[in-house]
Structure 1
Amino acid sequence: MEGVIDADTRALLSDDGALDWCVTEFVRVVDAKLPPRVFLRHCPELATAGSSGPLTPSSTPVTLQLLGSDPQALAANAEQAIAQGATRLDLNFGCPAKTVNRHDGGASLLRTPERVHAVVTAVADAGRRFGVSVNAKLRLGFDDKQLALACAQAAEAGGAEELVVHARTRREGYRPPAHWEWIARIRSAVSVPVVANGDIWSLEDYWKARTLSGCHDVMLGRGMLADPWLARRIRHWQDSGGERLSPTPWSARSAMLTRYAQAKQQAGMQEKVIVSLLKQWLNIMRGRDAEAATRFMALRRETALPSFLAGLDSDESGHDPSWGHLRPTTIE
């Protein structure tokens, strides 16, 4: 989720308390120990971290993610992150970006399970000295799934205490479908907890992912940006014994985007950059919501922030102003 999930987004999406924990964008490690300011830039929550580690304003724990291929450099930066207040680390073996993979990072390591093991071992050893847990984010492979089980077992053997598995290979990128049934095969091959990830856009997707993978937990990515109530929707369904919340109204989505813009303004970000980020988020929303699609088409050429926000808040499409009221229905 590089370029998308920053501290402001984490704060907004975790505000309702429905998320168990969040993960930062990755800190790219090459061959040197990075200065503290790099970790604070990726995880500003470290500045106020106490004994519970970095937290969002709603007290949701934040995990700091590292990406790289040099075991020693990653271990050194793990110690640096821990010194800044990190209490949980995540290793990224899932990023499919061509630039990252060309520079020997992310999913590129899945071609060699031994390298996955070496990286996890180095970082887990560093974490263990300070009582900090380490987990690994994987895909099902690079070009194919032949090494999916071997990579998962390598991460476990190296000391990963939890595996998050995106149910596609690097070659498959984000193209549907996600192969949740493959996560079940990984679960049977390891003894650490496994979290299912990939293509969870709705309550129905959540249930299918859990059913096919056998996982108790799931990780939400783009689905949370598309529907800011997705975690709330899942949590309500779990806690209520089957009640289903009504669709997220446009006014809730608009309010989320407006609050995001306000946070960026307060931080001094240029308005044209804020508009670009809002378009990026709205573009993700529009694939799953007709009103968001209409607004995106109307605002896609807008460059002025006041006009963009006015276009989000206008009542031309007749959205429901009582968005704060949850209207549950029962799943049949």
Structure 2
Amino acid sequence: MQIALAPMEGLVDEILRDVLTQVGGIDWCVTEFIRVCDRLLAASTFQKLAPELELGARTRAGTPVRVQLLGSDPVCLAENAAFACELGAPVIDLNFGCPAKTVNRSRGGAVLLKEPELLHSILSEVRRAVPAAIPVTAKMRLGFDSPDSALDCARALADGGAEQIVVHARTKVEGYKPPAHWEWVALVQEAVKVPVFANGEVWTLDDWRRCREVSGVEDIMLGRGLVSRPDLARQIAAARAGRQVQEMGWSEFLPLLQDFWIQARRKLAPRYAPGRLKQWLAMLTRSYPEAVVLFAEIRREGDCGRIDALLGVPRLEREWAAAV
């Protein structure tokens, strides 16, 4: 079984990938999508969204990081995929699942599920351009407004050369509204010969057990559930191996939140760093009563120094972050 961390634009950046993979249980993760339009992108564009490329395409914890591309031009995607491999990408992942309206209007993400032939063309071109030793994978939804073509899309991806397919078990129109249709993941796995990952609405260990039972697949990609419960992958890995599951308490988690904040202060201007922290802290309120209290204290706070104090960040680290 493999457990992957989902690529969520504007949320799971290199900072959150770094912190979450420190917890354990995650086998690999994926960058936010890199938008490919009509030209070969500069190396700096790849390195901005995938800075782990300079660290051997791994997080500090040693977890492999795949590079995800999004676009609709097969040739241009292929050229950029080949360049990403030159920069050190260990796997090229292609995004056919993004539901954002702005992305879909520019012919990217889930809207391409209306065109199985184009999916096949994209996979075929990218597969030909990428060195044989480097896998090409894909992420899809069940369709744009209906799952009627889900199996055709999955076959197009697999026949085009995708070595793994992640299925977010909802259509684009359904967005993130529950439920996730895990039974369709089972149908996709029956339709293709490559490994299929289930994705969507796994928030707890019990959700994972139900997903595995309904979908029939062992591999899983965790998104919002893992962001909200940072040890969810570790819990699942322990349960799958027959080990005792021990949930991460707030005292174990707090140093990771402090690390996240220090990194956010280093990366972002003071006016933006608090918002980045609040974004994650709001999601953590689903799992930790302590996060509810802390979020209430920080919610309207914009001063980084006061946030340092509320988080209990050690003085030397506060000074280091402020000086960067």
Q: Residue 318 of structure 1 corresponds to which residue in structure 2?
A: none
By how many angstroms is 1:120 displaced? 1.1
- Residue 124 in 1 paired to residue 133 in 2? no
Give the TM-score taking structure 2 as reference length. Answer: 0.90
Q: Is the 8 A contact 2:52 2:58 kept in 1?
A: yes
| Separation (CA, whole Å) in 2 of partners of 1:310 and 1:251 | 17
Contact 2:119–2:156 (CA under 8 A) maintained in structure 1 = yes
Residue equivalent to 1:305 = 304
User: Match for residue 36 of structure 2?
Assistant: 29
Q: Does 1:110 align with 2:113?
A: yes
Aligned residue pairs total 306
Say which SS state the counterpart of residue 251 (structure 2) adopts.
Answer: helix
* % identical aligned pairs: 45
What is residue 189 of structure 1 aligned with on the other side? 191
Separation (CA, whole Å) in 2 of partners of 1:209 and 1:125: 34
Report how far residue 5 of structure 1 moved. 1.3
Please give the per-residue CA displacement for 1:16-62, whole angstroms capped at 9, x wherever unaligned.
3321111110100001100111111111111132xxxx111121111
Higher relative contact order (CA 8 A, sep 6+): 2
Which range moves more in the overlay, 147-156 or 249-258? 249-258
Q: Structure 2 matches for 1:159-170, cutoff 5 A? A: 159-170=161-172
**What residue is the counterpart of 2:73 in the other structure?**
70
Q: For residue 166 of structure 1, report the CA deviation from its aligned partner.
A: 0.4
1:140-151 aligned at under 5 Å gives the runs 140-151=142-153
Counterpart check, 1:100 vs 2:107: no
Pairing of 1:249-260 with structure 2 (within 5 A):
249-260=249-260
Q: What letter is aligned with 1:133?
A: P
304-313 or 273-282, larger mean C-alpha shift: 304-313
Contact 2:264 2:276 in 1 (8 A): no
Q: Which SS does the other structure have where 2:124 is aligned?
A: helix
Question: In the alignment, is the contact (CA less than 8 A) between 2:67 and 2:91 conserved in 1?
Answer: yes
Partners in 2 of 1:225 and 1:19 — Cα distance?
12
Contact 2:264–2:277 (Cα < 8 Å) also in 1 = no
2:49 aligns with 42
| Matches of 2:63 and 2:71, distance apart in 1 | 26
Is the Cα contact below 8 Å between 1:94 and 1:107 reproduced in 2?
Answer: yes
SS in structure 2 of the partner of residue 92 of structure 1: strand
User: Which secondary structure state, in structure 2, belongs to the residue aligned with residue 114 of structure 1?
Assistant: helix
Describe the superposition over 1:49-102 as per-residue Cα deviations: whole angstroms up to 9, x where unpaired.
Answer: 2xxxx1111211111000001101100100110110112010000000111011
Letter in 1 for 2:251: S
Deviations 1:208-264 (A, max 9, x none): 11111111110111111101111111122223x252324x32334433221111123
Contact 1:226 1:286 in 2 (8 A): yes
Structure 1: distance between partners of 2:73 and 2:212: 34
Aligned to 2:87: 84
TM-score scaled by structure 1? 0.88
Q: In 2 relative to 1, CA 229–17 (structure 1 residues): closer, same or farther, beyond 3 Å?
A: closer
2:169–2:199 CA contact under 8 A, matched in 1: yes
- For residue 297 of structure 1, report the CA deviation from its aligned partner: 2.7
Alpha-carbon contact 1:26-1:66 (below 8 Å) kept: yes
Letter in 2 for 1:48: L
Q: CA deviation at 1:275?
A: 0.6
Task: List gaps (5 residues or longer) in structure 1.
Answer: 315-332
Of 226, 229, 234, the residue aligned with 2:228 is: 226
Q: Deviations over 1:111-157 (max 9, x none)?
A: 11111111111111112x35211010000110111111110011011
Code of the aligned partner of 1:307: R
The separation in 1 between residues aligned to 2:300 and 2:260, in whole angstroms, is 20
- Partner Cα distance (1:264, 1:298) in 2: 19
The aligned counterpart of 2:215 is 213
Residue of structure 2 equivalent to 1:175: 177
| 3-state SS of 2:92 partner | strand
> Which ranges of structure 2 fall in alignment gaps of 5 or more residues?
1-7, 314-324
Corresponding residue of 2:246: 245
Kindly provide the amino acid, as one letter, of the partner of residue 138 in structure 2.
Answer: A
Taking the aligned partners of 1:281 and 1:81, their CA distance within structure 2 comes to 29
Residue 137 of structure 1 contacts residue 164 of structure 1 at CA under 8 Å; is this kept in 2? yes
Partners of 2:254 and 2:270 in 1: CA distance: 17
